Amino acid sequence: MAAGELVETAAACDEADELRAKRAEFVLEPETVYLDGNSLGALPRSVAGRLADVVEREWGRGRIRSWGEAGWWTAPERIGDRIAPLVGAAPGRIVVGDSTSVNLFKAVVGAVRIAREEAPGRTEVLVDAATFPTDGYIAASAARMTGCAIRPVAAAAMAEEAGPATAAALVNHVDYRTGELHDLPAITRGLRAAGVRTVWDLCHSAGALPVELDAHGVDFAAGCTYKFLNGGPGAPAFLYVNEAVQGRFDSPLPGWNSHAEPFAMASDYTPAQGPVRGRVGTPDILSTLALEEALRVWEGVDIAAVRAKSLALTDFFLRCVAEYGPGEPRLRSLTPVAHERRGSQVALVCEPAEDARPALEALAERGVVGDFRHPGVLRFGFTPLYTSFRDAERAARALGEVIR
C-alpha cells in the first residue's frame, strides 16, 4: 500500500474513533508522537489545577483538618474503588498506596501464608521466568522469608508445573519486554485446581485491556498507576485482595494505617477488615490525589472500547512498519500477531542490536518517542485514550527512514 493510502486510512480510522475526544484531555504537543505511555503516561490536563488546590487550600489553609474534611484519610480506598472497574473488581477490594514492588511482597507472603494454612507442606513459590527483574527479586525474598524455594517457570506452563508442594505463583499479565499477553483465566484456573494461590502483576495491562479479576477468581494482584492509568511519575501502586481471602490476608508489613483502630495507638496489632488491611504507613497525599484526579479521564470510558482500539492501533502500526520498514532481518516483531496474546505495545527487534539505541535517538529527533530494552529491542506503547492512528503511521514512517 502506498504511503498516501496509509495516511488516508489513518485519517479515516481517527474520524471513526469513539475515544478520539479523550486526546484533548491530555497535555500533548502536536509535533510529538508519544509512544512511551507503557513507561510513563501523559499528563491529564486537570491534574495541575487539582494539585495546586491541594497544596494551596487543603494543605496550606486546611492543614491537619484536611485529613478528615478533605477526605485524605479515606483516599486509598476511595481511589481503589475508582480503579476497580478498570480491572474487573467490585468496590472494597482495592487499596492504593506504596509501590508495585512493596504490594507484590505483601501479596506473595500473604498468599504463601494462606496456602500453608490449608496445606503446611507447600514449600515452593513459582515465578514467571520472563518476569520484570524486580518481581523476581521480590518473589525470591518472599520465598526466603517464608521458608520456601523459588522456581522460575514459563507463564504458559505454570499450571502444569504446579504441584502439591507449590504454595503461590507470581505471574505477569503482559510481558514487559515482548508485549505478550498471558492467559490469566486459564492460568488462574489451572493453579487453583492445584491448590495454588495466585498473584498477578498488572503493570502492563491495567488501563489497557479488560482484566476481570473477580470473575476469574484471582487471589491477589498489584499494579502501577503511572503507565496506562496516567497517574504521574512515581504514582502510588494498587493492591487487589479478593474478598474470599481478605479475612485471611496476613500482611508481612503491618502498620498503624492497617490497624483496626489506628488512633488507639495500641501495642498489639489487630488488622482492619477489607482492603484497608493492605495499608502500611501514612499515605503520600500529593501523589495519591494527583492519581485520583488523573483517573477522571476514565469517566464514561468502556474498557472494551479501549481494548478494541488498542488492537486496531497495534495492527495498523505493524502494517505500516511492514510497508515503510526494511523488513527482516533488520526489523522483526517480538509481539504476537494473535489478538488474544497481545498486550498494548509492539516490541521490535533491531538487527544488529547495537543499532537499536541510535535508532531510538534518531526517532526522538523526528519527534517520535519510544523505548529501548536490551538487547536491541525497540518498544512502542499504544495508549488508546490519546494515541491516534495518525501517530501510528507517522511513527512507522519515521522508523523506516531511520533504519534505512
The residue extents of the domains of the chain are 3-31+302-403, 52-298
Tell me the C-alpha distance between 346 and 378, whole Å.
Answer: 8
d(CA 235, CA 347): 25
Distances, alpha carbon 122 to alpha carbons 115, 220, 259, in Å: 7, 18, 29
The domain at 52-298 falls in which architecture?
3-Layer(aba) Sandwich (3.40)
Task: Confirm whether pTM is higher than 0.85.
Answer: yes
Under 8 Å between Cβ of 292 and 75: yes
Burial 58-85 (b: 16+ CB within 10 A, else e): bbeebeeebbeebebbebbbebbbbbbe
Residues with active-site annotation:
132, 201, 226-227, 379
Q: How far apart are CA 247 and CA 231, in angstroms?
A: 29
Q: What is the pLDDT of residue 404?
A: 86
Question: Residue 204's closest CA among 233, 231, 181?
Answer: 181
Cell of 76: 486509598
Burial (0-12, 13-18, 19+ Cβ within 10 Å), 219? buried
Residue 117, C-beta contacts closer than 8 angstroms, at least 6 positions apart: 248
Q: What is the 3-state secondary structure (H, E, C) of the chain?
A: CCHHHHHHHHHHHHHHCCCHHHHHHECCCCCCEECCCCCCCCCECHHHHHHHHHHHHHHHHHHHHHHHHCCCCCHHHHHHHHHHHHCCCCCCCEEECCCHHHHHHHHHHHHHHHHHHHCCCCCEEEEECCCCHHHHHHHHHHHHHHCCEEEEECHHHHHHHCCCCEEEEEEECECCCCCEECCHHHHHHHHHHCCCEEEEECCCCCCCCCCCCCCCCCCEEEECCCCCCCCCCCCCCEEEECHHHHCCCCCCCCCHHHECCHHHCCCCCCECCHHHHHCCCCCCHHHHHHHHHHHHHHCCCCHHHHHHHHHHHHHHHHHHHHHHCCCCCCEEECCCCCHHHECCEEEEEECCHHHHHHHHHHHHHCCEECEEECCCEEEEECCCCCCCHHHHHHHHHHHHHHHC
Tell me how long the chain is: 404
- The pLDDT of residue 1: 57
> Does the 3-31+302-403 domain belong in CATH 3.90.1150.10?
yes
Count of CB atoms within 10 A of residue 144's CB? 12
Q: What is the pLDDT along the chain (404 residues), one digit of tens a residue?
A: 578 899 999 999 999 999 999 999 999 999 999 999 999 999 999 999 999 999 999 999 999 999 999 999 999 999 999 999 999 999 999 999 999 999 999 999 999 999 999 999 999 999 999 999 999 999 999 999 999 999 999 999 999 999 999 999 999 999 999 999 999 999 999 999 999 999 999 999 999 999 999 999 999 999 999 999 999 999 999 999 999 999 999 999 999 999 999 999 999 999 999 999 999 999 999 999 999 999 999 999 999 999 999 999 999 999 999 999 887 778 999 999 999 999 999 999 999 899 999 999 999 999 999 999 989 999 999 999 999 999 999 999 999 999 98
Alpha carbons within 13 angstroms on the beta-carbon side of residue 168 total 31
Res 3: pLDDT: 80
